[in-house]
Amino acid sequence: GTAALDTDAWTATFRVPNWNEKEATPFKLVYREKLTDGTEVPAERTGIIRANPEGRPLKLGALTCQKDYGFPYEPVANNLLKVDPDLLYFSGDQLYEDHGGFGLIRDPAAPAILNYLRKFYMYGWAFGEAMRDRPVICLPDDHDVFHGNLWGEGGAKMKEGTTSSAGGYREPARMVNVVHKTCTAHHPDYADPTPCKQNISVYYGDMVYGGVSFAIIADRQFKSGPEHVETGSGRADHVMDPNFDTSVLDKPGLVLLGERQEKFLERWCDDWRAHNIKVLFSQTVFAGVATHHGGYDG
Protein backbone atom coordinates (compact mmCIF):
# COMPACT_ATOMS: atom_id res chain seq x y z
CA GLY A 1 0.00 0.00 0.00
CA THR A 2 0.91 3.67 -0.03
CA ALA A 3 0.52 6.51 2.46
CA ALA A 4 0.83 10.25 2.03
CA LEU A 5 3.42 12.22 3.97
CA ASP A 6 2.19 14.64 6.59
CA THR A 7 4.05 17.80 5.61
CA ASP A 8 4.32 19.09 9.19
CA ALA A 9 5.44 15.92 10.98
CA TRP A 10 6.94 14.24 7.87
CA THR A 11 5.40 10.94 8.87
CA ALA A 12 3.44 8.44 6.80
CA THR A 13 1.11 6.10 8.67
CA PHE A 14 -0.06 2.74 7.35
CA ARG A 15 -3.03 0.69 8.55
CA VAL A 16 -3.10 -2.90 7.29
CA PRO A 17 -6.48 -4.69 7.64
CA ASN A 18 -6.94 -8.40 8.42
CA TRP A 19 -3.40 -8.78 9.74
CA ASN A 20 -2.21 -12.32 10.51
CA GLU A 21 -0.60 -11.82 13.92
CA LYS A 22 0.47 -15.44 14.28
CA GLU A 23 3.23 -15.29 11.65
CA ALA A 24 6.38 -13.19 11.41
CA THR A 25 6.18 -11.11 8.25
CA PRO A 26 9.00 -9.27 6.47
CA PHE A 27 8.36 -5.70 5.39
CA LYS A 28 9.98 -3.21 3.03
CA LEU A 29 9.33 0.52 3.24
CA VAL A 30 10.23 2.59 0.19
CA TYR A 31 10.47 6.37 -0.03
CA ARG A 32 11.08 7.88 -3.45
CA GLU A 33 12.77 11.25 -3.21
CA LYS A 34 12.05 13.47 -6.18
CA LEU A 35 15.05 15.54 -7.21
CA THR A 36 14.97 18.93 -8.90
CA ASP A 37 15.96 17.39 -12.24
CA GLY A 38 12.84 15.21 -12.20
CA THR A 39 14.56 11.93 -11.33
CA GLU A 40 13.73 9.82 -8.30
CA VAL A 41 16.07 8.22 -5.80
CA PRO A 42 14.52 5.38 -3.77
CA ALA A 43 15.45 4.81 -0.13
CA GLU A 44 14.48 1.50 1.48
CA ARG A 45 14.10 0.20 5.00
CA THR A 46 13.43 -3.47 5.67
CA GLY A 47 12.68 -5.51 8.75
CA ILE A 48 10.41 -8.07 10.34
CA ILE A 49 6.99 -7.57 11.90
CA ARG A 50 7.11 -10.24 14.56
CA ALA A 51 4.42 -12.73 15.40
CA ASN A 52 2.40 -11.90 18.49
CA PRO A 53 4.27 -13.63 21.38
CA GLU A 54 2.28 -16.51 22.85
CA GLY A 55 2.88 -19.20 25.44
CA ARG A 56 5.78 -17.50 27.22
CA PRO A 57 6.54 -14.44 29.34
CA LEU A 58 6.56 -11.14 27.46
CA LYS A 59 9.91 -9.35 27.48
CA LEU A 60 9.67 -5.55 27.70
CA GLY A 61 12.44 -3.02 27.16
CA ALA A 62 11.62 0.30 28.87
CA LEU A 63 13.62 3.52 28.45
CA THR A 64 13.18 7.18 29.31
CA CYS A 65 14.84 10.61 29.28
CA GLN A 66 17.41 10.53 26.47
CA LYS A 67 19.78 13.42 27.27
CA ASP A 68 22.13 14.22 24.41
CA TYR A 69 25.39 14.12 26.39
CA GLY A 70 25.12 10.33 26.09
CA PHE A 71 24.28 10.34 22.38
CA PRO A 72 24.24 7.94 20.56
CA TYR A 73 23.72 5.90 23.75
CA GLU A 74 25.67 3.09 22.12
CA PRO A 75 26.06 0.76 25.13
CA VAL A 76 22.33 0.98 25.84
CA ALA A 77 21.31 0.63 22.19
CA ASN A 78 23.60 -2.37 21.69
CA ASN A 79 22.44 -4.04 24.88
CA LEU A 80 18.83 -3.67 23.76
CA LEU A 81 19.64 -5.75 20.69
CA LYS A 82 21.32 -8.39 22.86
CA VAL A 83 18.41 -8.57 25.30
CA ASP A 84 16.04 -8.80 22.32
CA PRO A 85 12.81 -7.55 23.94
CA ASP A 86 9.43 -8.33 22.40
CA LEU A 87 8.23 -4.77 22.91
CA LEU A 88 9.91 -1.38 23.43
CA TYR A 89 8.49 1.37 25.61
CA PHE A 90 9.83 4.93 25.59
CA SER A 91 8.02 6.80 28.36
CA GLY A 92 8.94 10.33 27.29
CA ASP A 93 11.64 12.98 26.99
CA GLN A 94 13.04 11.54 23.81
CA LEU A 95 14.83 14.89 23.70
CA TYR A 96 15.50 18.04 25.72
CA GLU A 97 15.31 21.68 24.73
CA ASP A 98 19.08 22.05 24.31
CA HIS A 99 19.45 18.75 22.46
CA GLY A 100 22.23 18.44 19.89
CA GLY A 101 23.43 22.02 20.25
CA PHE A 102 20.71 23.13 17.85
CA GLY A 103 19.47 25.93 20.08
CA LEU A 104 15.82 26.47 20.93
CA ILE A 105 13.17 27.98 18.68
CA ARG A 106 9.81 28.22 20.44
CA ASP A 107 7.75 30.03 17.83
CA PRO A 108 6.36 30.63 15.31
CA ALA A 109 5.16 27.10 14.62
CA ALA A 110 7.04 26.30 11.39
CA PRO A 111 10.61 26.88 12.64
CA ALA A 112 9.69 25.46 16.05
CA ILE A 113 8.64 22.24 14.30
CA LEU A 114 11.93 22.01 12.41
CA ASN A 115 13.80 22.69 15.65
CA TYR A 116 11.93 19.79 17.25
CA LEU A 117 12.34 17.37 14.34
CA ARG A 118 16.13 17.67 14.11
CA LYS A 119 16.29 16.73 17.81
CA PHE A 120 13.73 13.94 17.50
CA TYR A 121 15.67 12.35 14.65
CA MET A 122 18.65 11.85 17.00
CA TYR A 123 16.43 9.52 19.03
CA GLY A 124 15.59 7.56 15.90
CA TRP A 125 19.21 7.34 14.81
CA ALA A 126 20.20 5.96 18.21
CA PHE A 127 17.48 3.33 18.62
CA GLY A 128 16.43 2.69 15.03
CA GLU A 129 17.92 -0.79 14.86
CA ALA A 130 16.09 -1.88 18.00
CA MET A 131 12.85 -0.36 16.69
CA ARG A 132 13.20 -2.00 13.28
CA ASP A 133 11.97 -5.47 14.29
CA ARG A 134 9.58 -5.03 17.21
CA PRO A 135 6.58 -2.90 18.24
CA VAL A 136 7.30 0.41 19.95
CA ILE A 137 5.15 2.46 22.30
CA CYS A 138 6.44 6.03 22.50
CA LEU A 139 4.88 8.69 24.74
CA PRO A 140 5.61 12.41 24.48
CA ASP A 141 6.44 14.05 27.80
CA ASP A 142 7.08 17.61 28.95
CA HIS A 143 10.50 18.22 27.36
CA ASP A 144 9.30 16.82 24.02
CA VAL A 145 6.99 19.85 23.83
CA PHE A 146 9.75 22.14 25.18
CA HIS A 147 8.47 22.37 28.77
CA GLY A 148 10.41 21.94 31.98
CA ASN A 149 7.15 20.70 33.46
CA LEU A 150 3.74 20.41 31.89
CA TRP A 151 0.27 20.68 33.36
CA GLY A 152 -1.75 20.64 30.15
CA GLU A 153 -5.07 22.02 31.42
CA GLY A 154 -6.89 20.05 28.72
CA GLY A 155 -4.94 21.69 25.91
CA ALA A 156 -5.25 25.31 27.06
CA LYS A 157 -2.70 27.89 25.97
CA MET A 158 -0.30 29.04 28.68
CA LYS A 159 -0.98 32.67 29.53
CA GLU A 160 1.68 35.26 28.73
CA GLY A 161 3.92 36.15 31.64
CA THR A 162 3.21 32.97 33.61
CA THR A 163 5.24 29.83 34.31
CA SER A 164 4.38 26.21 33.58
CA SER A 165 2.91 25.87 37.10
CA ALA A 166 0.00 28.03 35.94
CA GLY A 167 -0.88 25.31 33.41
CA GLY A 168 -1.30 25.15 29.67
CA TYR A 169 0.97 24.70 26.65
CA ARG A 170 3.76 27.17 25.90
CA GLU A 171 4.30 25.97 22.32
CA PRO A 172 1.98 26.57 19.32
CA ALA A 173 -0.70 23.91 19.01
CA ARG A 174 0.55 23.03 15.53
CA MET A 175 3.97 22.16 16.94
CA VAL A 176 2.43 20.14 19.82
CA ASN A 177 0.43 18.12 17.29
CA VAL A 178 3.62 17.32 15.39
CA VAL A 179 5.17 16.01 18.61
CA HIS A 180 2.12 13.83 19.24
CA LYS A 181 2.13 12.51 15.67
CA THR A 182 5.84 11.66 15.51
CA CYS A 183 5.61 9.79 18.82
CA THR A 184 2.22 8.08 18.61
CA ALA A 185 0.85 7.91 15.03
CA HIS A 186 1.92 4.27 14.78
CA HIS A 187 0.07 3.25 17.97
CA PRO A 188 -3.18 1.27 17.78
CA ASP A 189 -6.28 3.34 17.09
CA TYR A 190 -6.96 5.89 19.82
CA ALA A 191 -9.92 5.37 22.15
CA ASP A 192 -11.39 8.77 21.24
CA PRO A 193 -9.44 10.91 18.77
CA THR A 194 -11.54 14.04 19.35
CA PRO A 195 -9.06 16.90 19.88
CA CYS A 196 -9.01 18.93 23.08
CA LYS A 197 -8.58 22.71 23.49
CA GLN A 198 -6.71 24.58 20.73
CA ASN A 199 -7.45 21.55 18.51
CA ILE A 200 -4.56 19.71 20.17
CA SER A 201 -4.64 15.99 19.40
CA VAL A 202 -5.12 13.25 21.97
CA TYR A 203 -3.64 9.77 21.85
CA TYR A 204 -4.88 7.68 24.78
CA GLY A 205 -6.00 4.14 24.03
CA ASP A 206 -5.04 0.52 24.56
CA MET A 207 -3.10 -2.31 22.95
CA VAL A 208 -3.32 -6.06 23.53
CA TYR A 209 -0.03 -7.81 22.80
CA GLY A 210 1.54 -11.00 24.10
CA GLY A 211 -1.44 -11.74 26.33
CA VAL A 212 -1.13 -8.35 28.05
CA SER A 213 -3.48 -5.36 27.76
CA PHE A 214 -1.63 -2.05 27.86
CA ALA A 215 -3.40 1.21 28.61
CA ILE A 216 -1.58 4.09 26.91
CA ILE A 217 -2.41 7.42 28.51
CA ALA A 218 -1.41 11.10 28.55
CA ASP A 219 -1.07 11.79 32.25
CA ARG A 220 -0.03 15.45 31.81
CA GLN A 221 -2.35 16.61 29.04
CA PHE A 222 -5.49 17.23 31.12
CA LYS A 223 -3.91 17.89 34.52
CA SER A 224 -4.61 21.14 36.40
CA GLY A 225 -1.64 23.36 37.17
CA PRO A 226 -0.42 23.48 40.80
CA GLU A 227 -0.91 27.25 41.04
CA HIS A 228 -4.60 26.53 41.55
CA VAL A 229 -3.74 25.66 45.15
CA GLU A 230 -1.67 27.33 47.86
CA THR A 231 0.99 25.30 49.68
CA GLY A 232 2.20 28.11 51.96
CA SER A 233 5.80 27.53 50.88
CA GLY A 234 6.13 30.22 48.22
CA ARG A 235 6.34 27.54 45.51
CA ALA A 236 3.35 25.78 44.04
CA ASP A 237 5.17 22.44 43.98
CA HIS A 238 6.70 22.48 47.49
CA VAL A 239 5.16 21.44 50.80
CA MET A 240 7.64 22.14 53.59
CA ASP A 241 5.47 22.27 56.72
CA PRO A 242 5.13 18.77 58.25
CA ASN A 243 1.82 19.88 59.80
CA PHE A 244 0.38 21.17 56.56
CA ASP A 245 -3.36 20.46 56.19
CA THR A 246 -3.54 18.69 52.83
CA SER A 247 -7.34 18.93 52.76
CA VAL A 248 -7.02 22.56 51.60
CA LEU A 249 -5.53 21.25 48.32
CA ASP A 250 -8.67 19.30 47.49
CA LYS A 251 -10.61 21.90 45.53
CA PRO A 252 -13.58 21.34 43.24
CA GLY A 253 -12.87 21.51 39.54
CA LEU A 254 -9.27 20.30 39.68
CA VAL A 255 -8.42 17.64 37.11
CA LEU A 256 -5.91 14.78 37.18
CA LEU A 257 -6.37 12.60 34.09
CA GLY A 258 -9.41 14.27 32.56
CA GLU A 259 -12.98 12.99 32.47
CA ARG A 260 -12.67 11.45 29.01
CA GLN A 261 -9.49 9.59 29.84
CA GLU A 262 -10.77 8.38 33.21
CA LYS A 263 -13.91 6.98 31.57
CA PHE A 264 -11.68 5.17 29.09
CA LEU A 265 -9.69 3.68 31.98
CA GLU A 266 -12.90 2.51 33.65
CA ARG A 267 -13.89 0.68 30.47
CA TRP A 268 -10.38 -0.71 30.09
CA CYS A 269 -10.37 -2.05 33.65
CA ASP A 270 -13.58 -3.97 32.99
CA ASP A 271 -12.53 -5.40 29.61
CA TRP A 272 -10.66 -8.72 29.94
CA ARG A 273 -10.88 -9.96 26.39
CA ALA A 274 -7.83 -11.80 24.96
CA HIS A 275 -5.51 -11.16 27.93
CA ASN A 276 -4.99 -12.04 31.58
CA ILE A 277 -2.83 -9.19 32.86
CA LYS A 278 -2.99 -5.39 32.57
CA VAL A 279 -0.23 -2.76 32.44
CA LEU A 280 -0.68 1.01 32.40
CA PHE A 281 1.81 3.13 30.47
CA SER A 282 2.10 6.77 31.56
CA GLN A 283 4.81 9.39 31.44
CA THR A 284 5.00 9.94 35.22
CA VAL A 285 3.51 8.92 38.51
CA PHE A 286 0.14 10.63 38.85
CA ALA A 287 1.12 12.92 41.71
CA GLY A 288 4.07 13.71 43.93
CA VAL A 289 4.93 16.08 46.76
CA ALA A 290 8.37 17.71 47.04
CA THR A 291 9.68 19.33 50.21
CA HIS A 292 12.63 20.96 48.43
CA HIS A 293 14.91 20.78 45.41
CA GLY A 294 18.68 20.56 45.82
CA GLY A 295 20.16 20.95 49.30
CA TYR A 296 17.63 21.03 52.11
CA ASP A 297 19.34 24.07 53.65
CA GLY A 298 19.02 25.99 50.37
Going by C-beta distance under 8 Å and a sequence separation of 6 or more, which residues neighbour residue 117? 9, 10, 178, 182
% of the chain exceeding 90 in pLDDT: 84
Give yes or no for residue 229 having a pLDDT over 60.
yes
Strand order in the sheet with 60-63: 60-63, 87-90, 136-138
Dist CA 125 CA 72 (whole Å): 8
Give yes or no for residue 298 having a pLDDT over 60.
no
| Closest by CA position to 158, among listed 176, 185, 180, 141 | 176
Q: Mean pLDDT over residues 265-283, rounded?
A: 97
Strand order in the sheet with 277-281: 205-209, 212-216, 277-281
- Give domain limits for the chain: 25-281
Give yes or no for residue 296 having a pLDDT over 70.
no
Going by C-beta distance under 8 Å and a sequence separation of 6 or more, which residues neighbour residue 251? 228, 229
Handedness of CA 17, 87, 179, 218 (dihedral sign): positive
* pTM higher than 0.75: yes
Dist CA 184 CA 22 (whole Å): 24
CATH number of 25-281: 3.60.21
Q: How many other CB atoms sit within 10 Å of the CB of residue 223? A: 22
Q: Mean pLDDT over residues 93-113, rounded?
A: 96
Q: Mean pLDDT over residues 87-108, rounded?
A: 96
